[in-house]
Amino acid sequence: MAVIIPQVVSEDRASGAQVVESSLRFDTTYKTYLTRTPASSGNQKTWTWSCWIKRQTPGNGANQYFFQGRANASYYTYFLFDTNDKIRLYASRGGASSFDLITSAVFRDTGSWYHIVIAMDNTQGTASDRMKIYVNGVEETDFATSTYPSQNVDYYLNDNYPMQVSGIDGATVTEGNYSQMYLIDGQMLDASYFGYTDELTNTWRPKKFNIEDAPTADWGTCGSYLPFDGSAPIGEDQSGQGNHWGTAGAGGGGNLGHGSLDIATGGFPILNT
Protein backbone atom coordinates (compact mmCIF):
# COMPACT_ATOMS: atom_id res chain seq x y z
CA MET A 1 0.00 0.00 0.00
CA ALA A 2 1.41 3.36 -0.99
CA VAL A 3 1.96 5.95 1.67
CA ILE A 4 1.33 9.54 0.69
CA ILE A 5 3.89 11.82 2.26
CA PRO A 6 2.64 15.40 2.37
CA GLN A 7 4.95 17.93 0.76
CA VAL A 8 6.05 20.82 2.93
CA VAL A 9 5.82 23.99 0.88
CA SER A 10 7.74 26.92 2.33
CA GLU A 11 6.52 30.50 2.05
CA ASP A 12 9.20 31.34 -0.50
CA ARG A 13 8.52 28.26 -2.62
CA ALA A 14 4.78 28.89 -2.66
CA SER A 15 5.15 32.50 -3.75
CA GLY A 16 7.91 32.03 -6.32
CA ALA A 17 10.11 34.62 -4.65
CA GLN A 18 13.87 34.67 -5.14
CA VAL A 19 15.42 33.08 -2.07
CA VAL A 20 18.25 35.25 -0.76
CA GLU A 21 20.58 32.81 0.94
CA SER A 22 22.70 35.31 2.86
CA SER A 23 23.97 38.86 2.84
CA LEU A 24 27.07 40.97 3.32
CA ARG A 25 27.60 42.68 6.67
CA PHE A 26 29.34 46.06 6.92
CA ASP A 27 30.62 47.10 10.33
CA THR A 28 32.06 50.46 11.41
CA THR A 29 34.56 48.61 13.62
CA TYR A 30 36.53 47.56 10.54
CA LYS A 31 35.84 50.59 8.29
CA THR A 32 35.96 48.35 5.24
CA TYR A 33 34.11 49.17 2.04
CA LEU A 34 33.84 48.17 -1.62
CA THR A 35 35.20 50.39 -4.35
CA ARG A 36 35.43 50.51 -8.13
CA THR A 37 36.91 53.11 -10.49
CA PRO A 38 35.61 52.52 -14.03
CA ALA A 39 38.27 52.36 -16.73
CA SER A 40 35.81 53.96 -19.17
CA SER A 41 33.02 56.41 -18.47
CA GLY A 42 29.44 55.32 -18.85
CA ASN A 43 26.19 57.24 -18.87
CA GLN A 44 26.33 59.88 -16.14
CA LYS A 45 22.84 61.22 -16.85
CA THR A 46 20.78 58.01 -16.79
CA TRP A 47 21.17 55.00 -14.48
CA THR A 48 19.46 52.80 -11.88
CA TRP A 49 20.82 51.52 -8.55
CA SER A 50 19.00 48.80 -6.57
CA CYS A 51 19.90 47.10 -3.28
CA TRP A 52 18.34 45.41 -0.25
CA ILE A 53 19.61 46.88 3.03
CA LYS A 54 18.90 45.82 6.60
CA ARG A 55 20.01 48.57 8.98
CA GLN A 56 21.80 47.90 12.24
CA THR A 57 22.35 51.27 13.95
CA PRO A 58 19.78 53.89 13.01
CA GLY A 59 19.18 56.87 15.25
CA ASN A 60 22.83 57.47 16.10
CA GLY A 61 22.75 61.10 14.94
CA ALA A 62 25.25 60.59 12.14
CA ASN A 63 24.99 60.52 8.36
CA GLN A 64 25.29 56.93 7.15
CA TYR A 65 26.32 56.61 3.50
CA PHE A 66 25.43 53.50 1.51
CA PHE A 67 26.54 54.36 -2.05
CA GLN A 68 28.49 57.14 -3.70
CA GLY A 69 30.52 58.38 -6.63
CA ARG A 70 33.19 60.91 -5.75
CA ALA A 71 35.84 62.84 -7.66
CA ASN A 72 36.95 64.85 -4.61
CA ALA A 73 35.53 66.76 -1.65
CA SER A 74 33.76 69.23 -3.98
CA TYR A 75 32.46 66.97 -6.75
CA TYR A 76 30.38 63.96 -5.69
CA THR A 77 27.04 62.14 -5.61
CA TYR A 78 25.97 60.60 -2.29
CA PHE A 79 23.18 58.21 -1.24
CA LEU A 80 22.70 58.11 2.53
CA PHE A 81 20.52 57.87 5.61
CA ASP A 82 20.81 61.33 7.13
CA THR A 83 21.04 62.29 10.80
CA ASN A 84 17.24 62.00 11.07
CA ASP A 85 17.18 58.54 9.39
CA LYS A 86 15.68 59.90 6.19
CA ILE A 87 16.95 58.82 2.79
CA ARG A 88 18.90 61.64 1.19
CA LEU A 89 20.30 61.92 -2.34
CA TYR A 90 22.77 64.74 -2.64
CA ALA A 91 25.20 65.95 -5.29
CA SER A 92 27.78 68.70 -5.27
CA ARG A 93 29.51 70.35 -8.21
CA GLY A 94 32.35 72.66 -7.22
CA GLY A 95 31.20 72.73 -3.60
CA ALA A 96 27.68 73.95 -4.47
CA SER A 97 24.58 71.80 -4.09
CA SER A 98 23.46 70.41 -7.43
CA PHE A 99 20.53 68.26 -6.37
CA ASP A 100 19.14 67.42 -2.94
CA LEU A 101 16.24 65.07 -2.23
CA ILE A 102 15.32 64.19 1.36
CA THR A 103 12.34 61.96 2.10
CA SER A 104 9.72 62.96 4.63
CA ALA A 105 9.54 59.34 5.79
CA VAL A 106 12.16 58.01 8.18
CA PHE A 107 13.63 54.50 8.02
CA ARG A 108 14.54 53.13 11.45
CA ASP A 109 13.35 49.53 11.36
CA THR A 110 16.20 47.13 12.19
CA GLY A 111 14.05 44.01 11.98
CA SER A 112 13.17 44.11 8.29
CA TRP A 113 14.81 44.75 4.96
CA TYR A 114 14.49 47.91 2.92
CA HIS A 115 14.61 47.46 -0.83
CA ILE A 116 15.88 50.78 -2.15
CA VAL A 117 15.82 51.69 -5.84
CA ILE A 118 17.25 55.01 -6.98
CA ALA A 119 16.89 55.93 -10.64
CA MET A 120 17.90 59.02 -12.61
CA ASP A 121 17.29 60.29 -16.12
CA ASN A 122 18.06 63.98 -16.16
CA THR A 123 17.36 64.28 -19.86
CA GLN A 124 13.68 64.49 -18.86
CA GLY A 125 12.04 67.88 -19.35
CA THR A 126 10.02 67.78 -16.11
CA ALA A 127 12.28 68.20 -13.07
CA SER A 128 10.40 65.74 -10.83
CA ASP A 129 10.71 63.02 -13.51
CA ARG A 130 14.52 63.17 -13.45
CA MET A 131 15.07 61.27 -10.19
CA LYS A 132 12.99 58.61 -8.46
CA ILE A 133 13.26 56.80 -5.12
CA TYR A 134 11.39 53.55 -4.41
CA VAL A 135 11.34 51.80 -1.03
CA ASN A 136 9.83 48.32 -0.89
CA GLY A 137 8.16 48.86 -4.24
CA VAL A 138 6.54 52.18 -3.37
CA GLU A 139 7.67 55.42 -4.99
CA GLU A 140 8.57 58.13 -2.49
CA THR A 141 6.68 61.29 -3.46
CA ASP A 142 6.62 63.23 -0.19
CA PHE A 143 9.88 65.08 0.38
CA ALA A 144 11.15 67.34 3.14
CA THR A 145 13.57 68.81 0.56
CA SER A 146 13.14 68.45 -3.20
CA THR A 147 15.80 70.09 -5.35
CA TYR A 148 15.92 67.96 -8.49
CA PRO A 149 18.87 67.46 -10.85
CA SER A 150 19.43 70.05 -13.55
CA GLN A 151 18.62 68.88 -17.04
CA ASN A 152 21.37 67.20 -19.10
CA VAL A 153 24.09 67.56 -16.45
CA ASP A 154 26.66 64.81 -15.88
CA TYR A 155 26.96 63.65 -12.27
CA TYR A 156 29.62 61.58 -10.55
CA LEU A 157 28.38 58.05 -11.09
CA ASN A 158 29.60 55.91 -14.00
CA ASP A 159 32.54 58.28 -14.42
CA ASN A 160 36.31 57.70 -14.18
CA TYR A 161 36.16 58.33 -10.43
CA PRO A 162 35.75 55.92 -7.50
CA MET A 163 32.32 54.55 -6.68
CA GLN A 164 31.98 53.09 -3.19
CA VAL A 165 29.55 50.85 -1.33
CA SER A 166 29.08 51.73 2.34
CA GLY A 167 30.67 54.86 3.70
CA ILE A 168 33.15 57.42 2.44
CA ASP A 169 36.56 55.78 2.41
CA GLY A 170 35.27 53.50 5.16
CA ALA A 171 33.93 56.29 7.40
CA THR A 172 30.26 57.10 8.14
CA VAL A 173 29.21 53.59 7.14
CA THR A 174 25.61 52.39 6.96
CA GLU A 175 26.06 49.43 9.28
CA GLY A 176 24.05 46.35 8.51
CA ASN A 177 23.44 43.77 5.81
CA TYR A 178 23.41 44.35 2.06
CA SER A 179 22.15 42.01 -0.65
CA GLN A 180 21.40 41.93 -4.38
CA MET A 181 23.05 45.17 -5.53
CA TYR A 182 22.48 46.15 -9.15
CA LEU A 183 23.84 49.10 -11.10
CA ILE A 184 22.25 49.57 -14.53
CA ASP A 185 24.14 52.09 -16.66
CA GLY A 186 22.04 53.98 -19.21
CA GLN A 187 18.48 53.05 -18.17
CA MET A 188 16.01 54.46 -15.66
CA LEU A 189 14.07 51.49 -14.24
CA ASP A 190 11.41 51.28 -11.54
CA ALA A 191 11.25 48.86 -8.61
CA SER A 192 9.12 46.29 -10.45
CA TYR A 193 12.20 45.07 -12.34
CA PHE A 194 13.78 43.93 -9.06
CA GLY A 195 10.87 42.90 -6.84
CA TYR A 196 7.15 42.22 -6.64
CA THR A 197 4.32 42.08 -4.11
CA ASP A 198 3.75 38.52 -2.89
CA GLU A 199 -0.01 37.95 -2.97
CA LEU A 200 0.25 35.23 -0.32
CA THR A 201 1.95 37.42 2.26
CA ASN A 202 1.36 40.96 0.96
CA THR A 203 5.06 41.69 1.33
CA TRP A 204 7.55 43.07 -1.15
CA ARG A 205 9.82 40.30 -2.40
CA PRO A 206 13.07 40.20 -4.37
CA LYS A 207 13.06 38.70 -7.82
CA LYS A 208 15.95 37.91 -10.08
CA PHE A 209 16.62 40.83 -12.41
CA ASN A 210 16.79 39.91 -16.08
CA ILE A 211 18.43 42.48 -18.35
CA GLU A 212 16.40 41.03 -21.24
CA ASP A 213 13.24 42.37 -19.56
CA ALA A 214 14.56 45.95 -19.56
CA PRO A 215 13.62 48.36 -22.38
CA THR A 216 17.18 47.92 -23.67
CA ALA A 217 18.88 44.58 -23.04
CA ASP A 218 22.16 46.25 -22.10
CA TRP A 219 23.91 46.69 -18.74
CA GLY A 220 25.86 49.65 -20.13
CA THR A 221 29.56 50.35 -19.75
CA CYS A 222 29.60 50.46 -15.94
CA GLY A 223 26.72 48.12 -15.08
CA SER A 224 27.28 45.40 -12.49
CA TYR A 225 25.52 42.91 -10.24
CA LEU A 226 26.87 41.96 -6.81
CA PRO A 227 24.64 39.31 -5.16
CA PHE A 228 26.34 39.42 -1.72
CA ASP A 229 24.75 36.05 -0.99
CA GLY A 230 27.72 33.69 -0.93
CA SER A 231 27.15 32.48 -4.50
CA ALA A 232 30.26 34.33 -5.74
CA PRO A 233 33.35 35.98 -4.25
CA ILE A 234 32.68 39.37 -2.69
CA GLY A 235 32.99 42.07 -5.31
CA GLU A 236 32.92 39.72 -8.31
CA ASP A 237 30.51 41.11 -10.88
CA GLN A 238 27.87 38.55 -11.89
CA SER A 239 26.34 40.59 -14.72
CA GLY A 240 28.78 39.18 -17.25
CA GLN A 241 30.31 42.62 -17.81
CA GLY A 242 33.45 41.92 -15.80
CA ASN A 243 33.04 45.11 -13.75
CA HIS A 244 34.48 43.71 -10.53
CA TRP A 245 34.69 45.65 -7.25
CA GLY A 246 37.58 45.63 -4.80
CA THR A 247 37.70 45.77 -1.01
CA ALA A 248 39.49 48.59 0.78
CA GLY A 249 39.69 50.33 4.13
CA ALA A 250 41.52 50.18 7.41
CA GLY A 251 40.09 46.78 8.28
CA GLY A 252 41.21 45.09 5.07
CA GLY A 253 39.12 42.94 2.79
CA GLY A 254 39.26 40.00 5.15
CA ASN A 255 36.85 41.74 7.49
CA LEU A 256 34.05 41.79 4.91
CA GLY A 257 32.15 38.66 5.84
CA HIS A 258 28.75 37.25 5.09
CA GLY A 259 26.21 38.02 7.76
CA SER A 260 23.52 35.85 9.23
CA LEU A 261 20.98 34.10 7.05
CA ASP A 262 18.12 36.53 6.44
CA ILE A 263 15.16 36.19 4.09
CA ALA A 264 14.95 39.56 2.38
CA THR A 265 11.31 40.38 3.08
CA GLY A 266 10.41 44.05 2.97
CA GLY A 267 9.31 46.08 5.95
CA PHE A 268 7.27 49.23 6.07
CA PRO A 269 9.20 52.35 7.12
CA ILE A 270 8.51 53.67 10.60
CA LEU A 271 7.05 57.10 9.96
CA ASN A 272 8.01 60.06 12.10
CA THR A 273 4.81 60.77 14.05
User: Does 266 score more than 90 pLDDT?
Assistant: no
pLDDT in tens, 168-208: 876 777 888 899 999 999 999 999 999 999 888 889 999 98
- The band of 13, judged by pLDDT with boundaries at 50, 70 and 90, is very low
User: Which backbone phi and psi does 15 adopt, to 5 degrees?
Assistant: -90, -20
Q: Are strands 76-81 and 195-198 parallel, antiparallel or unpaired?
A: unpaired
Taking CA atoms, 273 is separated from 57, 133, 144, 270, in Å, by 20, 21, 14, 9
- The band of 15, judged by pLDDT with boundaries at 50, 70 and 90, is very low
- The band of 271, judged by pLDDT with boundaries at 50, 70 and 90, is very low
- The band of 18, judged by pLDDT with boundaries at 50, 70 and 90, is low
Arithmetic mean of pLDDT, 50-60: 91
pLDDT in tens, 125-141: 999 999 999 999 999 99
Which residues are CB-neighbours of 249 under 8 A, at least 6 positions away? 30, 31, 32, 33, 167, 169, 170
pLDDT in tens, 148-159: 999 999 998 999
Share of the chain above pLDDT 90, in %: 60
Global pTM exceeds 0.95: no
